[in-house]
Structure 1
């Protein structure tokens, strides 16, 4: 009888085991994923040539993977340990972090909409910088090829953006076998075609 009265008088202290262990399970899952992301990012970064990595530091996918992985690790750590131990401080930190991430995404969306021209210009600048360093970084090369295949595009604005790359431009100084061409991810292939070359003519 006394136990029942104490429980009913303190309803907010009760935590549903289902909610607790679901929160723990999903946070543990994303915690492991974040560690894998950081490990892959660090491995990819260490495997690169130092000069190539420094040349395209601003658009390095390995650094992006590490940054996202570390942030995800810290947030899911709070949620994982907080839910398991029913630690109010960690759970509050977890909810605050999720709220901040949501607000930052919302703010980025609003700023991108209001300043769409500037945002488009900044994105174009990043893409052009990536195109210049296309052959310097294998991760960056794979990322650009994936984007061009998935979105059926070529370059940032048009295929002419590839003239900024030293291997693909049409200048007389360019002795590359890829002169006056674009990467294979820009090319159109029919479904029955087999082997793809590394580039195709403009």
Structure 2
């Protein structure tokens, strides 16, 4: 079995333990995001399901790769370390490929979401799925309309209604052109700012995860490459350095003197 520098092996093992912890943290963040953004059974927020699946997958893959690297270093298994190195190269490229465009698109995210949601107005004339989503948002988030209660025109649903006696300061009285109820108390808060907050939160988490994993992948590439290099070059014969004759110091002149015959 090839001998790898004990200090390098220890550093690489600690790195993989930390790498596995990062994978667990990513899974925990995905779970937390799923709980915090749990609206309409998981379909209330734009791109929520895809983002959560990506986080779960990245966290699980990170933990598997970390275990592979730790095993390869402990057993000094070159095949496992080569697979680990290839995964690090691919992973760093993928994380940078995902992170850089996400950072570039982040300032435009609010405008894009607003355009998409304004295209759904008026809500009372939207499709059944859109109405169902809006009702669920209003029930869960205690808000009314995406940008205003006027998004429902004259058909404000019951999920917008607010009891001013129980929720003081969160209700407003609006003129409602109904025959039986000319005025209605609805939530002051609108839904779009809340949705935007959660979408930006999920986006920030994914950007942070992408660049953190890219940095860790670069470190993993360097460490695994060093270990593979040591394993490959360990059995090479040691080359003894000899000083060329041209640089050899000649003997002192007094060594050339000798006693003449007869003395």
TM-score w.r.t. length of structure 2: 0.40
Structure with higher RCO (Cα < 8 A, 6+ apart):
2
TM-score w.r.t. length of structure 1: 0.49
